[in-house]
């Protein structure tokens, strides 16, 4: 890791936390710190499960519980246990909580205005554009990837969403029964694997890898949710699966795709895949790709 880059990140963190008032116990001049304010914002009008709040904010359960007890004692939220599953707790704003959140929204607008006001129009545009880029990159760094069983609920959610999108995008529609779908066993070790990407604990993408003995490895069913695109997850999936395939001894990595998926085709070209003759009878494929992959570096 570049020491100069580390130092720049640290300076950025210090500047931001100071400028937005995150160091104060009374955030935005209210009666509570920033952690409690964020809980009010993230709870929203519909309420939210405590687990979802922890995942969204990246906070440990003990700290969240202390913040919720404080907000509950102030009459700003209620915490209810699910009737059928007592482990599930749902947070909801009270009328006072909604009023407090509205006051925080107003103060937040004022703070944002105070950041922009001293700057000229060109500087404001540069700052806002830079903030958007930082937000995108930090969000990308928040995404986790994990190999799961193909029958895992998150895997099934991604595949259902993937098939629905293909049905909408393909000229002929998409019927999974007609496609050369790998069965679940082909995407379980040692014959393969299935990776799910999560953002704040929610599944936002997937990719499978077939590892047939004595044959090239093959990427199947790579998909990224529309709301998580432009985070570089497609390229990250390719790199992850290439590393795993190389670790299993594969020296060739294959995939096929439909002509409608222009962005995917461009990604494969830019990632070093070369178009080749058809190597399967996939009825929805128009393009076939291969890439020579190197063995893992020796440590």
pLDDT tens figures, 203-246: 999 999 999 998 999 999 999 999 999 999 999 999 999 999 99
Following DSSP, what letter does each residue of 83-110 receive, concatenated? SS-TT-EEEEE-HHHHHHHHHHHHHHHH
Edge-to-edge strand ranges of the sheet holding 192-199:
144-148, 192-199, 202-210, 217-224, 252-257, 287-292, 274-276
Q: How many CA atoms lie within 13 A of 235 on its CB side?
A: 12
pLDDT value at position 23?
Answer: 86
Q: Residues 157-213: pLDDT tens digits?
A: 999 999 999 999 999 899 998 998 888 889 999 999 999 999 998 999 999 999 999
For residue 42, the model assigns a pLDDT of 93
Inter-residue contact 195 to 207 (CB < 8 Å)? yes
Q: State mean pLDDT over 83-108.
A: 90
pLDDT tens digits for range 30-81: 988 999 999 999 998 889 999 989 988 888 889 999 999 999 999 999 998 8
Give the separation between CA 260 and CA 170, rounded to whole angstroms: 7
For CA atoms 37, 42, 46, 52, give the dihedral sign: negative
φ/ψ region of 44 (left if φ > 0, alpha if ψ in -120 to 50, else beta) reads left
Provide DSSP, 146-178: EEE-TTSHHHHHHHHHHHHHHHHHSTT---GGG
Q: pTM for the complete prediction?
A: 0.86
Query: For tokens 């246990």, what's the residue?
Result: 81
């Amino acid at each position: 890791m570049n020491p100069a880059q580390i130092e720049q990140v640290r300076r950025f963190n210090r500047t931001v936390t100071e400028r937005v008032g995150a160091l104060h116990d009374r955030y935005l001049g209210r009666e509570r710190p920033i952690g409690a304010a964020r809980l009010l914002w993230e709870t929203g009008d519909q309420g939210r499960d405590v687990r979802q709040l922890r995942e969204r904010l990246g906070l440990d359960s003990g700290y969240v519980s202390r913040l919720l007890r404080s907000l509950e004692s102030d009459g700003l939220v209620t915490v209810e246990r699910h009737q059928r599953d007592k482990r599930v707790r749902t947070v909801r704003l009270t009328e006072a909580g909604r009023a407090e959140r509205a006051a925080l929204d107003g103060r937040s607008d004022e703070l944002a205005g105070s950041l922009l006001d001293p700057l000229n129009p060109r500087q404001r545009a540069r700052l806002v554009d830079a903030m958007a880029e930082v937000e995108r990159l930090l969000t990308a760094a928040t995404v986790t990837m994990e190999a799961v069983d193909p029958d895992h609920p998150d895997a099934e959610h991604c595949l259902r969403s993937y098939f629905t999108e293909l049905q909408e995008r393909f000229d002929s529609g998409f019927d999974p029964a007609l496609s050369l779908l790998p069965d679940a066993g082909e995407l379980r070790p040692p014959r393969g694997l299935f990776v799910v990407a999560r953002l704040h604990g929610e599944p936002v993408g997937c990719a499978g890898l077939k590892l047939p003995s004595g044959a090239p490895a093959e990427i199947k069913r790579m998909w990224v949710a529309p709301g998580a695109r432009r985070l570089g997850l497609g390229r990250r999936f390719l790199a992850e699966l290439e590393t795993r395939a190389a670790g299993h001894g594969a020296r060739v990595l294959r995939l096929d795709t439909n002509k409608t998926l222009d962005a995917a085709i461009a990604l494969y070209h830019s990632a070093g895949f070369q178009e080749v003759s058809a190597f399967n009878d996939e009825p929805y494929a128009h393009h076939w790709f291969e890439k020579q992959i190197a063995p893992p570096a020796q440590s």
